[in-house]
Structure 1
Amino acid sequence: MRGVSGNMDDVQSHPLGELSQEAKSDKMAHLKKALECLLFVSDKPMLLRELSQIIEVDETLTEQLIKELMNEYDERSGLAIVEVAGGYQMVTRPEYGRYVAKLRQPRRVRLSRASLETLAIIAYRQPITHPEIEQIRGVDSSHCIARLIELGLVKITGRKNSPGRPYLYATTERFLEVFGLKDLSELPPIEQWHQKAKTMGVSQTMDEVEGDASASDDAKVNDPDAQ
């Protein structure tokens, strides 16, 4: 991938096109530092559109600058800029997680084994109705669904055009953030869900689920808001 700073001819159509080569270089460096600041202070992924509007250049140039930053961080930093939940976020690299953990204990999103199972069903079958979830699980899932909505991992997306017009449930951007996914296409095959859950800090596995779990059966998922 070519660096932004080395491709000034590519931006002639942008407002920067009227500047001298030296002025362009200075402006590009300035914008890149501005993006770095925005990603550093944001506690959630920032959309390309949002970043573009803030630094007041078009999305094509903004994306070029972000890619350049990503390469620079890959080469020299314990931090990384990643694509997640449809946006960009600055995160610590996993290999340095044990050092960060000594500084602060991350908050946890607590999920019972039953809620974790319900979340998996919604993630892989979405949009899906309450009766369809219970048909798969074989037990009442009202509490689990309510808990997932409360945590911001699941949302109501509409109603199904069937008798009773039941609500349809789907996962949220917060779900993508918590599980470190760029979008739903990155969901692992269902048979690998257990391993994915483990890598995200879930202490209970799906095959342990037998109906609703008690509070003592809580699984824990890292909360990215605390990192």
Structure 2
Amino acid sequence: MEARQKLLIAAFYLAKFNEEAVRNLGYAGFRDAFNNIGATLNYSPNSVKNRRDDFDPLFDHRAGWHQVELGRSNLEIVDNFDHLSEEALRAIVLDLLDKESLDEIILPNSNRQSSVYTTRGVTGRKAEEFFMKWFATFHPDKTLIDKRDLGCGYDFGIENSSHVYEVKGLSENDGGVLFTDKEWKVATELQNDYHLVLVKNCLSENPIVETYSNPHFRFSPNKQVRMVVNVSWGISSNDLNHTDTD
């Protein structure tokens, strides 16, 4: 694995788990972490800090580089490692920082041709925030219902209505978007009640909103099967046989 990938994984861990990550890696503070991680991976302490700041806008600890859209390499790290627990990701980081251990992790989501929207990224958050303001302006007689944390397959519903909205964001005026299998399944079921909201240039001062009803009927997407990094914890039979039961 390239040193830069190791750097990004370590930086993502620091950004996501913040002071807990610093403590669990055994560092006295962030400065100590930046110095030691940088020395191990042959990067300057400032490089480690800047890469952590890249991921910061995904979480609530610091603002970080909130004005900069995540690049493809950073999104690959999010795709592959965001689902892991603190303990699992810490174990990976410790192995990556051990020069005698774990030199290769295969990232199934690497080498993608273009960046894709992620609802947890800066683009997605900005798009959702702008959509809520836009909707209140153009539909003052309707009330949005926030469904983003309910796993419904869409982001917003409307009070006393069957219409739902899935919001996707683009940092520029052009690009593709990604539906999860759950989102696409719900779009198939709801048909004309399901609306794709595309917010273009969503990091600019003047985003553009485009809406598409029944995206399942209107578009012909390419299926993308993804694999993710998974961590399991094995207890050997020898360990079991040499430990007293309760």
> TM-score w.r.t. structure 1 length?
0.31
> TM-score w.r.t. structure 2 length?
0.30
Which structure ranks higher in relative contact order (CA pairs < 8 Å, sequence separation ≥ 6)?
Answer: 1
